[in-house]
Amino acid sequence: MNRERDSETTVEEDSQPNDEVVPYSDDETEDELEDQEPAVEPEQNRVNREAEENREPFKKDCTWQVKANDRSFHEQPQFMNTKFFCIKESKYENNAIKTYKYNAFTFLPMNLFEQFKRAANFYFLVLLILQAIPQITTLAWYTTLVPLLVVLGITAIKDLMDDVARHKMDNEINNRTCEVIKDGRFKIAKWKEIQVGDVIRLKKNDFIPADILLLSSSEPNSLCYVETAELDGETNLKFKMALEITHQYLQKENSLAAFDGFIECEEPNNRLDKFTGTLFWRNTSFPLDADKILLRGCVTRNTDFCHGLVIFAGADTKIMKNSGKTRFKRTKIDYLMNYMVYTIFVVLTLLSSGLAIGHAYWEAQIGNYSWYLYDGEDSAPSYRGFLNFWGYIIVLNTLVPISLYVSVEVIRLGQSYFINWDLQMYYPEKDTPAKARTTTLNEQLGQIHYIFSDKTGTLTQNIMTFKKCCISGQIYGDHRDTSQNSHSKIEPVDFSWNTYSDGKLVFYDHYLIEQIQSGKEPEVRQFFFLLAACHTVMVDRLDVRTPEGNIRLYCKGADTVIYERLHQMNPTKQETQDALDIFASETLRTLCLCYKEIEEKEFEEWNKKYMAASVASTNREEALDKVYEEIEKDLILLGATAIEDKLQDGVPETISKLAKADIKIWVLTGDKKETAENIGFACELLTEDTTICYGEDISALLHTRMENQRNRSGVYAKFVPQVHEPFFPSGGNRALIITGSWLNEILLEKKTKRSKILKLKFPRTEEERRMRTQSKRRLEAKKEQQQQNFVDLACECSAVICCRVTPKQKAMVVDLVKRYKKAITLAIGDGANDVNMIKTAHIGVGISGQEGMQAVMSSDYSFAQFRYLQRLLLVHGRWSYIRMCKFLRYFFYKNFSFTLVHFWYSFFNGYSAQTAYEDWFITLYNVLYSSLPVLLMGLLDQDVSDKLSLRFPRLYMVGQRDLLFNYKRFFVSLLHGVLTSLILFFIPLGAYLQTVGQDGEAPSDYQSFAVTIASALVITVNFQIGLDTSYWTFVNAFSIFGSIAIYFGVMFDFHSAGIHVLLPSAFQFTGTASNALRQPYIWLTIILTVAVCLLPVVAIRFLSMTIWPSESDKIQKHRKRLKAEEQWKRRQNVFRRGVSTRRSAYAFSHQRGYADLISSGRSIRKKRYPLDAIIADGTAEYRRTVET
């Protein structure tokens, strides 16, 4: 047992997690996490490990082979894959793309097949088949066919339009042209004719047709500038650079035609920022990476022409590999609606079974002994009952609403357009409107419990402004003149002397500029030289050595990373640390700058290792990282920068309103704890009254809870009821701030040691296997319990801030809340590191900010500013939820009211499955007579205005608590429909019994009875929706009265003699409407039926609003008085003294910089003035400006 436990212990169990470091990389595998060797390694383990390391890998990473200008090479047998039976195709795709689903021959069968895979459509197809059996059906076949064709037709037209658009786009793209080398010369060819291995030429502003290796270009050093908006939405240009050897030798057409390079690289994949390969040419191998690859979908800019070798074509390109379907998200109402449809199926089956049994009994008691009912069939009553079961399945099929799903999709589509058209969510500065990127989640926006937000670029502007710096232990950036005298009011520095200044920097420390100009402090010049060399703005350097001929390494990064790599004898280390603390207390973000002198011999040895790692065919990135680590040590600290990242407008107001709506906000960020805490105070997520709990605090609480649970899990545990015990006493405002390291510690996600047990090659005994299995189960159970306890504790806090977390941890936290709280979650972010979190949450929102469009492209909704979130949820989300709930309740009500009339009629027709309506009325009821008003209510209804929705966030809680649509509401709607159908049938029945009309004739024939019920039904259900409507417009009123008018107009047409002459078998109610409705007695019956149906509803609504008014009822009652919206007042910013200092580390760039280009020594421009010349030229003018 002790040995077993040792194998599962964590690394340094007694050590505390480090709040300053980000946990291990998301890319580490389980084997890597366990790869922590013990201090003293057993000899056998060492031998085994060395044998594993020296063994040739089973499979190379680079298995994709490309031969330049040799199409026959890629058609060799080893590259052929079996496509179908004996038909083989090359594994190398051609460059034609196919995104369409259908063609002229496959559209009808494939589309119908896809539609009939849906349970509802297949159900109605089965009904249609049953209606073709004469022994079963009492209902005309068109009553099912027409609604089914309408539903299938609408969906098919939509699919057809989408596919036609895809066909047009595919043809447009496949028929684009570019120049390809054929027969030794460049010739015009269509994109679809391009193949792997072709050498192509592109010109300025050309779209790149495939994933190609850049060989040369018209720019110096064969640079090529590309716009990647099609890939990631970013419009800023990126540069690619060819290998130096291809730049030198592959500029002319004849040399490109003779190029015979051979490439081994990775297989096609979807990683846009990764590429690993090797070029073999001229008996030398050259490393290839993503900086030398031009991806399909990009556009060449500012480059007259460039040449490239096609590596991946068509479906193998990275953009096509990324075009796979994302995970389909469904709303809570979707699942509930499906369960309710299943419930209706059960009710339908039970009703049909009961009526079938009734018919069998009736046949045995009455039908067999009534000569006038004999139909020539001598079937047994049980057989007749069996046939009647299917007959009633057909007659009562409208209990299952065929148009429900189509109507829901129409409503969701309309609600999505309202979001897109909302000018109050439009950001004019960047011309960015809000965008609903999905149409299936709108009502779920009204049910959010938890919001998980990124910080940088989501809560903040992500626009970095240089504010202060620390150089050699001295802080610069205060309001000072050239003599170091501080002033509260001083003019900002005039940078007009610098011809490269853009005029946007506002800086007040004149003394720092004086130090730069004077040149007395070499550390100051060195500091800014480092900043000028290490960033993503391209700089021109002819030589990477110092003027003395030395080689110098420059580094910039977070203090947690840099301080680990510093030389022990750094004189300003503590002073810089103090400056970092001061910067953090001012919510500034920091970076440390350092350098190192490198000996020539040391560099040569390191460069050999670097070149070997750069052409490694396996684990190239890991090999390069290891080489980088060797040289990035014993660094000399220069200083640190302090950058300001301001909050976006309206963030505190938005958080305040969302909190009042009982939405809990968690901030998940990679920033340091101090910075995240300061931002929490700045955006009022944290207040002066908030009690903050940290990782070490809750770790003790969770440990105690686990001990208590373990003690209670004894023999008598099953007899003791589970009691939820809160972690904190009631009352008080608490927040949790936890780092990624503590998160791993608490959730038992720490790296584990490699087992100290000798790992033998032969299998363990059965006993050892059983013990290991039990141990793993115990650990999993402990981990699950610990995670549940953590979620319970965190959810007791009003706010949670998780800092120094990786993208994987962000998604893990979201998943934990989804799993253990069963709550609806929303994740919002702006960068690629938020994509995992956005996809994991029920709803993902992307901010189109400074970090590209990766988050937006993975999101369900997007807009430009965090403050628009309050309108998305409190207005659009709440309205969508209310509208959808009203729509569904009414839809079920009107269908039960309509269908159950058949049920009551069965008691008077021998349970014979005879319908109570005309067949055409059954056909058009859901399609024409009652569809438009309910659709408009689902699109336009609102209980209160948008301003009042924002002013009273508590209105949002009805969606969180599922108050408007649940099983209780469903059964209330069902009961309402049952009672309405009861009234609709029995009042006309009573009115028709033993009556005589004005003409002395009895109006109590079946057809007049059917018309009376149908008329009362149409008027009742349309007036009922009028009672349910909160927001009246002309369109609503027109749809209600228009539907009633359409009913009467169509009915009189269908009951006319003319149409009966044309189709006598289909239109059998000739003259019924005109004969029945000319009698006042019938109209009085209709009016009485409608009144009895609606007056109780009016009375109940009145009593409910008077005695038990809801929050929205109260606001509606006083809405005129509440029109003037109260202005939100922000609390004064309170800075808490005496707390730990807070700072943030931030890299200026989110992508790789230009160090490779700088260190290559290759000139980019013909001539540029050096930094010294710029400073010298501007000194005199600057001094004059300062003196003035």
Q: Which residues are tagged catalytic?
A: 454
Place of tokens 């047992």: 1
Place of tokens 């999993």: 780
Which helix (H) or strand (E) segment holds residue 256: the answer is: helix 253-258
Cα atoms in the Cβ-side hemisphere of radius 13 Å centred on 1103: 6
- Residue by residue, DSSP assigns 324-385 as SPPPPP--HHHHHHHHHHHHHHHHHHHHHHHHHHHHHHHHHHTGGG-GGG--S----HHHHH
Closest among 740, 735, 588 to 669, alpha carbons compared: 740
Closest among 1081, 1104, 1086 to 1048, alpha carbons compared: 1086
Which helix (H) or strand (E) segment holds residue 847: the answer is: strand 843-847
DSSP 3-state percent helix, strand, coil across the chain (nearest 5): 50, 15, 35
The torsion angles phi and psi of 293, rounded to 5 degrees, stand at -110, 130
Pinpoint the alpha helices (H) of 848-931. Answer: 854-857, 868-871, 878-906, 919-924
Place of tokens 């059954």: 922
Locate the DSSP E strands across 134-276: 177-182, 185-190, 199-203, 211-217, 223-227, 238-241, 262-266
The torsion angles phi and psi of 577, rounded to 5 degrees, stand at -60, -40
Q: Cα separation of 831 and 462, whole Å?
A: 11
Q: Cα separation of 1018 and 1009, whole Å?
A: 14
Tokens matching residue 639: 């200083």
Closest among 22, 1, 9 to 1144, alpha carbons compared: 22
Quick count: other Cβ atoms within 10 Å of Cβ 71? 14
Q: Cα separation of 139 and 124, whole Å?
A: 14
Tokens matching residue 679: 């931002």
Buried b (16+ CB within 10 A) or exposed e, 596-634: beeeeeeeeebeeebeebbbbbeebeebbeebeeebbee
The torsion angles phi and psi of 100, rounded to 5 degrees, stand at -75, 160
Tokens matching residue 1126: 């109260």
Q: Cα separation of 656 and 660, whole Å?
A: 6
- Residue by residue, DSSP assigns 694-734 as EHHHHHHHHHHHHHHHHHHSSTTGGGSPP----SS-SSSEE
Q: Helix 404-420 and helix 878-906: axis angle, to 10°?
A: 160
Handedness of CA 861, 862, 866, 869 (dihedral sign): negative
Q: Cα separation of 698 and 791, whole Å?
A: 11
DSSP three-state, residue 664: strand
Q: Cα separation of 825 and 450, whole Å?
A: 5
Handedness of CA 143, 144, 146, 150 (dihedral sign): positive
Closest among 534, 615, 654, 568 to 1156, alpha carbons compared: 534
